[in-house]
Amino acid sequence: MQHSHPLQHAPKHAVSRLRDQRLARSAKPFIARGARAPRCPGCRVLFSHCLCTLRPDVPTQAGMCLIMCDIEPLKPSNTGWLIADVVKDTAAFGWTRTEVDPALIALLADPQWTPYLVFPGEYLPAERVVTEVPAVPGKRPLFVLLDATWPEARKMFRKSPYLNHLPVLSLLPEQLSRYRLRRTTRTDHLCTSEVAARCLALAGEEHAAETLDAYLEVFTSHYMDAKQSVLPDLEDAAHLRLRELVNTV
């Protein structure tokens, strides 16, 4: 059965392209946990619950650099994809212990950016940690996010010496994570999209931060409804909030 895709002619963003590259290297097809029906290639949700037409278009000065652990781009529940949907200047790179993409090194050295590696400061000496993102004339903040499970992210942090020169932006979450698609033993851990939203807020881009948070809530709702075979309520509080934010750009 052929499914129409509302954004089938839209250019792919960085995470989508990285997903394609990872699939091309796979020896066997990747089957998402609980997969039972075809998913929309634009939002990774079942076609019956597609949210491509709800994708926000919000201009930002900040950029995002996602360094993604192996199969992370393949997971339908990955929220780095949502960041790339919202923040146009999002780059995505796969991580390996032995190799680093030259394009990543070039991006970190690009003079238009001030890169910050986002990671909990409790694991680092105080002199390397910052908690604010000051405005720098002629520069744009670039937030480097390690997109992985928490154990994987710690490994990536330790074994990526090319990131050692970057200041580490440590976030102090104001609320517990609302992300419901994966479980973690620590409720203070945020998903990648939530981390990106807090980075945007620190950079003074509160509207983009709120929009990304609202988009995550809508995505989670569609994803969970699809699992439970319940049609999404396009007029609930989450959808109304996202619509209001998009309309106030």
Residue 174's pLDDT is 65
- Under the banding of pLDDT at 50, 70 and 90, the label for residue 35 is low
Mean pLDDT over 162-181 rounds to 79
Question: Looking at the domain assignment, is residue 156 inside a domain?
Answer: yes
* The residue count for the chain: 249
Question: What is the Cα–Cα distance from 92 to 22, expressed in whole angstroms?
Answer: 12
Residue 114's pLDDT is 98
Question: Looking at the domain assignment, is residue 60 inside a domain?
Answer: yes
- Under the banding of pLDDT at 50, 70 and 90, the label for residue 73 is very high
Question: What is the Cα–Cα distance from 168 to 156, expressed in whole angstroms?
Answer: 14
Two structure tokens written together for 97: 């212990």
Question: Looking at the domain assignment, is residue 233 inside a domain?
Answer: no
Question: What is the Cα–Cα distance from 22 to 30, expressed in whole angstroms?
Answer: 10
Mean pLDDT over 161-168 rounds to 96
Of 72, 38, 69, 88, the C-alpha closest to 205 is 88
Check if the beta carbon of residue 108 is closer than 8 Å to that of residue 160.
no
- Under the banding of pLDDT at 50, 70 and 90, the label for residue 7 is very low
Question: What is the Cα–Cα distance from 54 to 52, expressed in whole angstroms?
Answer: 5
User: pLDDT tens for residues 113-145?
Assistant: 999 999 998 878 889 999 999 999 999 999 999
Check if the beta carbon of residue 147 is closer than 8 Å to that of residue 194.
no
Mean pLDDT over 197-214 rounds to 96
What pairs with residue 69 in β-bridges? 95
Chain-wide mean pLDDT for the chain? Answer: 88
Question: What is the Cα–Cα distance from 143 to 169, expressed in whole angstroms?
Answer: 9
Taking 90 as the threshold, does the pLDDT of residue 34 lie above it? no
Of 83, 91, 87, 31, the C-alpha closest to 67 is 91
Residue 11's pLDDT is 74
Taking 50 as the threshold, does the pLDDT of residue 94 lie above it? yes
- Under the banding of pLDDT at 50, 70 and 90, the label for residue 182 is low
Mean pLDDT over 14-19 rounds to 94
Counting the structural domains of the chain, the total is 1
Question: Looking at the domain assignment, is residue 1 inside a domain?
Answer: no
User: pLDDT tens for residues 37-50?
Assistant: 788 999 999 999 99
- Under the banding of pLDDT at 50, 70 and 90, the label for residue 185 is very low
Mean pLDDT over 156-176 rounds to 88
Q: Whole domain around residue 156: which residue ranges?
A: 14-24+41-46+54-170+180-205
Rg (CA), the chain: 18
Question: Looking at the domain assignment, is residue 88 inside a domain?
Answer: yes
Beta-strand runs (E) in the chain? 63-69, 90-95, 113-118, 129-130, 140-147, 168-169
Of 123, 139, 117, 135, the C-alpha closest to 195 is 117
Burial of 26 (0-12, 13-18, 19+ CB in 10 A): exposed
Residue 130's pLDDT is 95
Of 182 and 153, the one with more pLDDT: 153
Question: What is the Cα–Cα distance from 218 to 220, expressed in whole angstroms?
Answer: 5
Question: Looking at the domain assignment, is residue 131 inside a domain?
Answer: yes
Amino acid sitting at position 198 = R
Question: Looking at the domain assignment, is residue 218 inside a domain?
Answer: no
Share above pLDDT 70 across residues of the chain, in percent, rounded to a whole number: 84
Question: Looking at the domain assignment, is residue 109 inside a domain?
Answer: yes
Mean pLDDT over 206-231 rounds to 95
